[in-house]
A and B are shown apart, each in its own frame.
Chain A
Amino acid sequence: MEYSAIFWWTTLWLLFWGVVGSIFTRRVYLRKDLDTSNSILVGSMVGAAFGPVGLVPLWLKTPEISRKLILIPAFVSVGIMMIAFALADPQNNCVSNGSFVASQITNGLIIGIIYGLMALGLTLIFSILGIVSFSHGEFYMIGGMLVYYSTVVWFPGLHPVIGVLIACLLTFMLGAVFERLFLTPLYDGRIDRPVEYGILITFGLAFTLQYFVQAVGGANPVKAKRFFDFPRIRLPDKADPWLIKTSRGNMELFDTISISNPRFVASVISIMVLLGLLYFLYRTWTGKALRAVSQDRDAATIAGINPHHMNMLAFAMGGMIAALSGATLVQAFSWLPQVGMIPAMRSFVIVVLGGLGSLPGAFIGGIIIGLVEAAGTGCVPDPQKASSYIPAYGMIVLTLTLLLRPTGLLGRRFASGTHGKL
């Protein structure tokens, strides 16, 4: 580990020039009477990637800011970090073991899809009601708990997919009832600071739900059975099945990438739900009405949409989506009443990264966070520390997002800043 200094010095170098770039590029663009909206981001990225060699030409030429100008330096700086890491710790699994890397990336992608789905619920609630639900993690937890209880405790032998449906139905109802009882004063201007009210009341719901589940079900970890087994592919012994090998709980692709069954099933369900959701939002009348309300509440009201119904639908659906991701993951992880905290935090990070209120942003953000966490857990040398720090990886992304591009990847322009709504 004596080479680890290489990594830290490189990080410091990147940080320094990133900061220099972000501060001065904006001023240069301002002085030259140019659009400065993304100059902080470009400056920091170019600074981090190329240091002074990149910044000086940038300041001299001040090209118009394009997506390419952001993305190329971003990838270059990630590349530099990776090379520095490889030099610093050549024995690390992440560097020396190609199949491990491939597995990590695949698993990161798969779990990222599920993260994306959960974040989608949060962003749906935000885009319609304008509040951030702090009870999102508890819906996730309850989703998993309901699958466990319905398939193991209440009706042993019930097929888990029916359990998932039960979980969806009950959490949808829970969300709808909560919205009717506690969120209605938000809409008629009776509350001065609706955003804060939303935070506190959902926070209260989270607190209540968590202890309710703990009081009813106890604090022991539970786990549901696998939903499906992989089909066993029987091939003659001589044919080396390098392309795909399956056992009941695991699948191996190309002899290198191993995917565990629960995660695979969960991500397949997530993709299906996602497609269904997209169909719902873009092809059905109700879905279109929802999107209309999210874009312009007053105009939608004039057009004959009852925004109160949409609020209820959005909150209930958002909660249900969180519950669904919990319900699909209860077969992969052991479940506790406190299990919702970290996924909730992660959803917040994803939603801010993707842009508060942006549906595609939530999905892209989910995949990015999935990959970042896979890299973090796989590459940090001490595995025990690596898993403790899981929330921290997301937070680093969150901090960078808030500093460099507060609107997120695909956010609306006025989502933050001095004149923002939030």
Chain B
Amino acid sequence: MIELEVKNLNKRFGGLHVLKDVSFGIKGAELIGLIGPNGAGKTTLTNILDGAIKPNSGTVYLNGQRIDQLPPFEVAKVGLGRTFQVTRSFRRMTVLENLYVPALAKHVAADKTEVTNKALEVLDFLTMRHLRNEYAQALSGGQQKLLELGRLLMLDPDIIILDEPFAGVHPTLMEIIYEYIRKVNEEGKAIVLISHQMDSIFSLCKRLLVLNYGDLIADGAPEDVKNDPVVVDAYLGKDDDENSDTTNNEKQNSA
């Protein structure tokens, strides 16, 4: 049983209070959307869950183990995987090598042929088998995005945080990513989906978290959240800024 417990998370960057007493929990294979305007602290929250930055206070437990003070690689082994807002494939390694990294990192005694077979399976699912020996930099932007999702499958975590998986993606590819999310969720993994594309969020997720400048202002079923006056006022009501280009601010915050 997957269990993530986030309690009273606080994070400051200098004078900026980026996360204010954020608490929530995930039980079982949920599919959760995390939304909020730019600069709301979504990426910071991801970075804290992942271990890339440490919170000023608060705790995070994953399956009973405290992970907020662990380095990212330990967190990954405990069972939390994430993608990045900007695609970060290992550009000068082949597609297969990209997939080997998480598998070999997680299991020290992994069998090479077994890993290869699993990697080829993943590639089949992503319709990229024929590209297996190409360098990742030769792939298109969308394929690199798929590759990043493939790496997560190889890591085989309990919880997956997808940071803007749909940004700048071709409709055909979008279908593959949709299918990926559904399938992975059905296989029993919890997914946290961060996106600005409301229709995707509403069609996929059964629960929404809304962050607004560090405050977790809503947590519930999509329909309830949609009609929540606080959320409407803070986020949905405003003109829906759907492009994610302006997220540079967030990147700098997390630096």
Contacts and interface: CB of A to CB of B under 8 A. Distances in A.
Quick check: do A and B touch in the complex, using CB within 8 A?
Answer: yes
Interface of A: 30-31, 33-37, 192, 413-414, 417-420
Nearest to A38: B14
Given A30-B54, A419-B254, A35 B91 contact: no
B12 A35 contact: yes
B10 A192 contact: no
Contacts of B137: 192
B93 to A, nearest CB: 12
Interface centre among B13, B53, B255 (most CB of A within 10 A): B255
A33 B56 contact: yes
A67 to B, nearest CB: 14
A33 B255 contact: no
Interface in B117-140: 137
Nearest to B57: A33
Interface in B49-63: 52-54, 56-57
19 contacts: A30-B54, A30-B56, A31-B57, A33-B12, A33-B56, A33-B57, A35-B14, A36-B56, A37-B14, A192-B91, A192-B92, A192-B137, A413-B14, A413-B255, A414-B252, A418-B52, A419-B53, A419-B254, A420-B255
B15 interface: yes
Contacts of A418: 52
Given A30-B54, A35-B14, A192-B137, 9 more contacts: A31-B57, A33-B12, A33-B57, A35-B12, A35-B15, A37-B14, A418-B52, A419-B254, A420-B255
Interface string B125-163: 000000000000100000000000000000000000000
A34 B56 contact: yes
Interface of B: 10, 12-15, 52-54, 56-57, 91-92, 137, 252, 254-255
A417 B12 CA distance: 17
B82 to A, nearest CB: 15
B127 to A, nearest CB: 26
A420 to B, nearest CB: 6
Given A33-B56, A192-B92, A192-B137, A414 B255 contact: yes
B15 A419 contact: no
Nearest to A418: B52
A36 B254 CA distance: 14
Nearest to A298: B248
Contacts of B92: 192
Contacts of A37: 13-14
A354 B52 CA distance: 28
A419 B57 CA distance: 20
Contacts of A419: 52-53, 254-255
B15 A417 contact: no
Nearest to A30: B56
A9 to B, nearest CB: 36
B3 to A, nearest CB: 26
Contacts of A414: 252, 255
A2 to B, nearest CB: 49
Nearest to B58: A33
A31 B55 CA distance: 10
A254 B226 CA distance: 80
A200 to B, nearest CB: 16
Q: Give me the 3 closest cross-chain CB pairs, A-B, nearest first.
A: A414-B255, A419-B255, A33-B57
A36 B10 CA distance: 13
Nearest to A31: B57
Nearest to B12: A35
